[in-house]
Structure 1
Amino acid sequence: MDKEKILIVDDEKEIRDLIDIYLRNEGYDTLKASDGMEALNILNNNDVQLIILDVMMPKLDGIQACMKIREEKNTPIIMLSAKSEDMDKIMGLTTGADDYITKPFNPLELIARVKSQLRRYIKLNNNASYKTKDFIEIDDLTINTETHEVIVEGKLVRLTPREFEILELLARNRGKVFSIENIYESVWKESFIQSDNTVMVHIRKIREKTEADPRKPRYIKTVWGVGYKIEK
């Protein structure tokens, strides 16, 4: 079986090399880029299963690069940043990142997050358990659980792996109300932190991509004080 290939994007050589050592020790293949433009060129010519992307870089920063990547690819993206403010985290996730870690970071924690993202990505795309029911249809929205594609009114909508998981979770359980905590622990497989608004950010992005008017959603409904659901 081919090794998963991971693209490391950071303008600091020491950090690129450090991450490279840890990833290779875990058996992954790696590619390295020093800025967003170089990363996009590499992605155009290589099949990559995960991207580790720094926020602050010359030429094309991580936020802009992430948005460019999301125009065409659903490859998992872990953002790196020296800033830990909530707005930075929200900005990173809003642009399509799947996870976020602040510098300085423990390399072992980064590796754990890489493994988690790769497991989720491979499961969504290849695992037979996701192919037992290939299509979920809700009015003009169609979810293909085999190809990981979402079609709205005949047009392909590109969701990140996390966004897709949330939509599929709600779509497979139509009529059931999921709290923010339920969604987070089902999708992220981690304990929920009360002040974390990651789920709300992802719901907003799903609505922006699937709804004609995100302020009046047809698909994911808000149950005030409880959570979210897709009606039967």
Structure 2
Amino acid sequence: MNKFQVLIVEDDPPIRNLISTTLKTHDYKYLLAKNGEEALLQASTYSPDVVFLDLGLPDIDGVEIIKKIREWSNMPIIVISARSEDEDKIEALDSGADDYLTKPFSVEELLARLRVMQRRIALLKSDDEKGEKSVYTNGKLKIDYAAGCAYKGDEELRLTPIEYKLLCLLAQNTGKVLTHKYITQKIWGSAWDSNVASLRVFMATLRKKLEDGDEAVSYIQTHIGIGYRMIKN
């Protein structure tokens, strides 16, 4: 049995059964929650590796669940929702979700996104074991790779896990234009159109956090139709 554990938060029995059966077939451990209250209890009690979260829960809206979990944990959260409007995706991602999958979804895509999370977690653990102490600086921006934190001046930036990973990827390639395909392959492990759409949302929120209150300084340059570049300040 795969030791990787997934918390499934879904109030629709057929979808909940589909996801749980898929995970069981591929030897993943899983927990089930039918509403927000159960989700928070399971998340705090068992600290799952990944959360699959529906937004339309009967008691607590999924976005509020994301915000509450982010108060104490950076566990990856993959939203699985029928809400397909950009506003809904932006709200969920900006609240701390790591990925957004729209219903109906394919089992293959669900598993692929889960594998991406597994690789990301393994990479972070590997970096921790290496004890990397390097620090990146660019003007007022500082990234402490060992601590997994980013700062602008003396203030720590409140970044989601995806935003932090994007920032590190851009920083490690300062001055280079990274294409949409390259970035999505590195972050999500694929170049699906949905990932490119999510990338635009994450880049917008990341840029806002980097440049908030300091409009004269630009860190991320958009190359329309191509990708993004970290500018040296």
The TM-score with structure 1 as length reference comes to 0.81
Q: In the aligned structure 1, how far is the partner of 2:126 from the partner of 2:195?
A: 34
Deviation at 1:50, TM superposition (A): 0.5
Deviation at 1:2, TM superposition (A): 8.0
Decide whether the 8 Å contact of 2:6 with 2:52 is kept in 1.
yes
Aligned position for 1:221:
220
Deviation at 1:35, TM superposition (A): 1.9
1:188 paired to 2:183: no
Q: How does 1:73-92 map to 2 (within 5 A)?
A: 73-92=73-92
With over 3 angstroms needed to count, the CA separation of the structure-2 counterparts of 1:10 and 1:183, relative to structure 1, is same
Decide whether the 8 Å contact of 1:125 with 1:148 is kept in 2.
no
1:231 paired to 2:227: no
Decide whether the 8 Å contact of 2:98 with 2:162 is kept in 1.
yes
1:42 paired to 2:62: no
Deviation at 1:53, TM superposition (A): 0.3
2:116 is aligned with what amino acid?
S
Q: How does 1:51-130 map to 2 (within 5 A)?
A: 51-127=51-127
1:24 paired to 2:52: no
How far does the alpha carbon of each residue in 1:60-116 deviate from its partner, in whole angstroms, 9 at most, with x for none?
111221222233322211111123344433333333222222223233321221111
Q: In the aligned structure 2, how far is the partner of 1:134 from the partner of 1:103?
A: 41
Decide whether the 8 Å contact of 1:223 with 1:229 is kept in 2.
no
Q: In the aligned structure 2, how far is the partner of 1:200 from the partner of 1:220?
A: 16
Q: In the aligned structure 1, how far is the partner of 2:207 from the partner of 2:78?
A: 22
Q: Which range is displaced more, 22-31 or 120-129?
A: 120-129
Q: In the aligned structure 2, how far is the partner of 1:173 from the partner of 1:109?
A: 29
Decide whether the 8 Å contact of 2:180 with 2:196 is kept in 1.
no
Decide whether the 8 Å contact of 2:2 with 2:28 is kept in 1.
no
Unaligned ranges ≥5, structure 1? none
Q: In the aligned structure 2, how far is the partner of 1:194 from the partner of 1:11?
A: 24
Q: In the aligned structure 1, how far is the partner of 2:79 from the partner of 2:173?
A: 31
Deviation at 1:9, TM superposition (A): 0.5
With over 3 angstroms needed to count, the CA separation of the structure-2 counterparts of 1:217 and 1:49, relative to structure 1, is farther
Deviation at 1:125, TM superposition (A): 3.6
**Equivalent position SS for 2:58:** coil
Q: In the aligned structure 1, how far is the partner of 2:195 from the partner of 2:110?
A: 22
With over 3 angstroms needed to count, the CA separation of the structure-2 counterparts of 1:185 and 1:119, relative to structure 1, is closer
Aligned position for 1:15:
15
Q: In the aligned structure 2, how far is the partner of 1:85 from the partner of 1:212?
A: 26
Q: CA RMSD in A?
A: 3.1
Deviation at 1:129, TM superposition (A): 9.4
Decide whether the 8 Å contact of 1:143 with 1:150 is kept in 2.
yes
Q: Which range is displaced more, 20-29 or 159-168?
A: 20-29
Decide whether the 8 Å contact of 2:5 with 2:29 is kept in 1.
yes
Identity %: 34
Decide whether the 8 Å contact of 2:100 with 2:198 is kept in 1.
no
How many corresponding residue pairs? 231
